[in-house]
């Protein structure tokens, strides 16, 4: 009997004290930030440009638009708080998707930006970070959009569909932060720049920004990035396009990537450390400009051999470029050595960047040609 009375009473009490949300705020009392750009002013102050979603322009028959606000301060948080001098609803960063960093800021170090994004309660750690190749980061937000009026959301979508190109990495705040203290590995970010298409000045993703600790030291272009992503086992799709293929009478041929698996194995023998890389890639013939038949056994074997040599050469090329020009291990070879050979790592870890610069890396590529699209035979010309 007491239990029958107690349970309804407990439910009634919970209904009165647990209703609603203690931190609830009306949406019209907030300025929702879609994305931000961080630059350094001539006086050394931080310039914080953020894209605000303009809800006043939204409605049943209109598109939601955005506005850019710019504020400065001695620190990022100081610049954000100073924006209250000219905007009544305070900025809300809970829905922010991207943060774009200028080269000037990045070459001095990005710790301050990471600290703000990690320490403040509103920004999510899944915010995408990008590095501007332009003189400033805010130029990226000021460029014209091609698919949506919210510039930051378009950039976020561009990063999401990169799996169809594999020419730019996708790095979120927590991933960059986790990479910084990681022994035997250096961080990187996607790069973005302004381009022109059909008379419209817009932006495009443009390869990879290479970091040493938290400082920018250089860039890989789009094609180099593709083969860098092969070593990182981060290929989700994309194309392999060959120019002047010898077996195809020096015409161009394209293959679509369906699947890739990369395995990296450190080898220590006779006092020498080396790295073995093996890629297993499934592709399909997507385009050819010749009447030659590559779908028969002989043609497939010829293409397989040439594709394996092509992929191997390009992976080796980007590894050698990073070793020679940057001498930082963005591939994460050192972290694999650390995990699999901890005793050896204790001896060499302190000098890893110097060791990495001269490290012997062996690449083996295995290609499987799955098919040739909707055509089993090439298009014939003439009788």
Q: What's the pLDDT score for residue 14?
A: 66
Give the whole-number percent of the chain exceeding pLDDT 70. 84
Greater model confidence, 361 or 146: 361
pLDDT at 146 over 90: no
Q: Which 3 state secondary structure label does DSSP give 373?
A: coil
Task: Indicate the range of 31-35, 185-189, 290-294 predicted with least confidence.
Answer: 290-294
**pLDDT tens digit string along 234-258?**
999 999 988 877 666 667 888 899 9
pLDDT digits (tens, 9 = 90+) for 19-36: 555 554 555 567 899 999
Give the pLDDT band (50/70/90) at residue 200.
confident
pLDDT of 379 reads: 45
Q: What is the token pair recorded at 304? A: 């397989």
Residue 329 token pair: 């291990």
Distances in Å between the alpha carbon of 116 and those of 112, 125, 132, 304?
6, 11, 19, 50
Tally Cβ neighbours within 10 Å of residue 158: 22
Q: Torsion-angle region of residue 65: left (phi > 0), alpha (psi -120 to 50) or beta?
A: beta
Task: Select 222-383's CATH number: 3.30.300.210, 3.40.50.360, 3.30.530.20, 3.30.470.20.
Answer: 3.30.300.210
Q: Is 298 exposed, middle or buried (0-12, 13-18, 19+ CB in 10 A)?
A: exposed
Encode pLDDT of 58-74 as tens digits.
Answer: 455 556 788 999 999 99
Across 46-65, average pLDDT: 75
Single pTM value for the model: 0.87
The full set of domain ranges for the chain reads 25-220, 222-383
């Amino acid at each position: 009997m007491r239990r029958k009375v107690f349970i309804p009473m407990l439910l009634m009490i919970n209904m009165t004290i647990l209703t609603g949300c203690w931190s609830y705020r009306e949406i019209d009392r907030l300025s929702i930030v879609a994305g931000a750009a961080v630059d350094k002013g001539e006086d050394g102050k931080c310039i914080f440009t953020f894209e605000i979603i303009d809800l006043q322009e939204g409605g049943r028959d209109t598109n939601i638009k955005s506005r850019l606000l710019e504020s400065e301060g001695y620190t990022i948080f100081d610049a954000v708080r100073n924006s209250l001098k000219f905007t009544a609803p305070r900025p809300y960063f809970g829905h922010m998707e991207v943060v774009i960093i200028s080269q000037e800021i990045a070459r001095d170090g990005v710790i301050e930006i990471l600290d703000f994004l990690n320490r403040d309660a509103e920004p999510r750690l899944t915010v995408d970070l990008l590095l501007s190749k332009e003189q400033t980061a805010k130029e990226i937000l000021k460029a014209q959009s091609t698919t949506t009026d919210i510039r930051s959301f378009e950039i976020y979508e561009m990063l999401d569909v990169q799996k169809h190109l594999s020419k730019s990495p996708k790095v979120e705040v927590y991933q960059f932060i986790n990479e910084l203290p990681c022994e035997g590995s250096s961080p990187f970010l996607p790069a973005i720049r302004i381009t022109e298409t059909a008379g419209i000045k817009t932006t495009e993703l443009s390869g990879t920004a290479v970091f040493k600790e938290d400082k920018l030291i250089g860039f890989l272009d789009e094609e180099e990035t593709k083969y860098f992503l092969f070593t990182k086992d981060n290929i989700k799709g994309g194309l392999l396009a060959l120019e002047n293929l010898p077996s195809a009478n020096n015409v161009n041929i394209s293959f679509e990537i369906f699947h890739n698996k990369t395995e990296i194995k450190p080898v220590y023998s006779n006092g020498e450390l080396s790295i073995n890389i093996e890629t297993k890639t499934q592709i399909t013939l997507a385009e050819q400009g010749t009447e030659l038949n590559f779908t028969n056994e002989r043609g497939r074997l010829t293409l397989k051999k040439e594709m394996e040599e092509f992929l191997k050469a390009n992976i080796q090329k980007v590894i050698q470029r990073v070793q020679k020009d940057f001498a930082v291990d963005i591939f994460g070879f050192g972290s694999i050595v650390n995990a699999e050979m901890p005793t050896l790592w204790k001896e060499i870890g302190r000098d890893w960047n110097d060791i990495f610069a001269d490290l012997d890396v062996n690449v083996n590529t295995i290609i499987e040609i799955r098919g040739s699209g909707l055509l089993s035979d090439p298009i014939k010309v003439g009788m």
